[in-house]
Structure 1
Amino acid sequence: MIFKAFKEKSNQKYINKLLNARRVAVSNTKIDSVGVILHLSEFSDFEAFRAYFKSLNIQHAKLKIIAFVEDSKDANLLWDTYFNPKDFGWKGKVNNIDLQTFIDTKFDALISYYKDDVLELNLITALSKANFKVGLTTKDDRLYDLMIDVSPKNFKLFKTELTKYLTVLNKI
């Protein structure tokens, strides 16, 4: 149990190091590819995101959705990719090949659709090579370029707000 606390502290220090070194350089390009990070206990409707981005003319092949589950027994094989706390090592090391591929993909936008302050979710958001990061408000506002304060259960309001801000920023 004490090793778990040390591991979490190690990963939190790594997140802080990443965020302190982050240089925001958001380009004015239109959004063509999107990555979505979900927390299963907060929102699990993959199809809602697929339908929403299809309505914005984002091709299905350019959309990648991953989900965080507390326990791997809760994972469903129909999901794109799922990950759990066991997929992380010390100092931000990722032990899941699919998850590492997601992190290394240079998405035009990353949607971090979770409200809970979960270390692993924050680590993936911080590690992501996405150009423009959108999230629901959390404790650390350094993670995102755009924050929308809505409940994860209110997806309809999130869609409306995101569309409004992306239009204003000339991203869609």
Structure 2
Amino acid sequence: MFLKAFREKSNKKYLNKLLSQRNVNVGNNKIKSLGVILNFDEIEDFNAFNVLASRLKIHANNIKVIAYTTNLKSHGNSWDACFNTKDFGWNGDIKNVELQGFLNEPFDALISYYTKEHLELKLLTALSKSQFKIGILQSDARLNDIIIKTEINEIDVFSDEVVKYLTVLNKI
């Protein structure tokens, strides 16, 4: 318990360091690949992101979704790419090979679809090598390039807004 608090503090410090060093480099590149980070405890509709990818003209092979949950046992094997707090070490160290592979992939766009304040979700968003980050309104605006203020259950509104803004930015 005591070490858990120290680990969380070291991860918070590492997150602040990452966000302060972040360079926003939004180019005119079209979006061809999409990564999605979501909180499984808040939303379980993974198919909505496949629909969004098709609206963005992204091939099904170029979308990857990972989900965070506080309790892996309660969700069982309902989703393959599920992770939790135990997959993180000190100073933002990732212990899960599949999760590290997701972070190393240079997606053209990353969607961070969560509203609850979990340090692990923020770390994933910050550690991602994605070129363009899109998210729901959160306490730290440094995480995403585009922030869309919607409720977590309004995925259709979120999708419409993403398509609208990416069209204006000439990304699709």
TM-score (norm 1): 0.96
Whether 1:55 and 2:77 are equivalent positions in the alignment is: no
CA–CA distance in 2 between the matches of 1:166 and 1:102?
23
- The question of whether the paired residues in 2 share the 8 Å contact of 1:106 and 1:130 is answered with yes
CA–CA distance in 1 between the matches of 2:106 and 2:77?
25
Partner of 2:105: 105
Partner of 2:124: 124
- The question of whether the paired residues in 1 share the 8 Å contact of 2:103 and 2:127 is answered with yes
Residue aligned with 1:107, SS: coil
Cα distance, 1:117 vs. partner? 1.3
What are the Cα deviations for residues 101-131 of structure 1, in whole angstroms up to 9, with x where unaligned?
0000000000000011110000000000000
Cα distance, 1:76 vs. partner? 4.5
Where do residues 56-95 of structure 1 align in structure 2 (5 Å cutoff)?
A: 56-95=56-95
% same residue: 50
Aligned pair in 2 of structure 1 residues 50, 80: CA closer, same or farther (>3 Å)? farther
Number of residues of Structure 1 aligned to a counterpart in Structure 2: 172
CA–CA distance in 2 between the matches of 1:118 and 1:82?
15
CA–CA distance in 2 between the matches of 1:50 and 1:79?
15
Residue aligned with 2:26, SS: coil
| Stretches of structure 1 lacking an aligned partner (at least 5 in a row) | none
CA–CA distance in 2 between the matches of 1:8 and 1:69?
17
- The question of whether the paired residues in 1 share the 8 Å contact of 2:104 and 2:129 is answered with yes
- The question of whether the paired residues in 1 share the 8 Å contact of 2:55 and 2:163 is answered with no
What are the Cα deviations for residues 73-97 of structure 1, in whole angstroms up to 9, with x where unaligned?
1344352411100000000000000
Whether 1:169 and 2:169 are equivalent positions in the alignment is: yes
Cα distance, 1:52 vs. partner? 2.0
CA–CA distance in 1 between the matches of 2:168 and 2:76?
37
RMSD (CA atoms): 1.1
Residue aligned with 2:103, SS: helix
Partner of 1:151: 151
Partner of 1:18: 18
Partner of 2:42: 42
| Stretches of structure 2 lacking an aligned partner (at least 5 in a row) | none
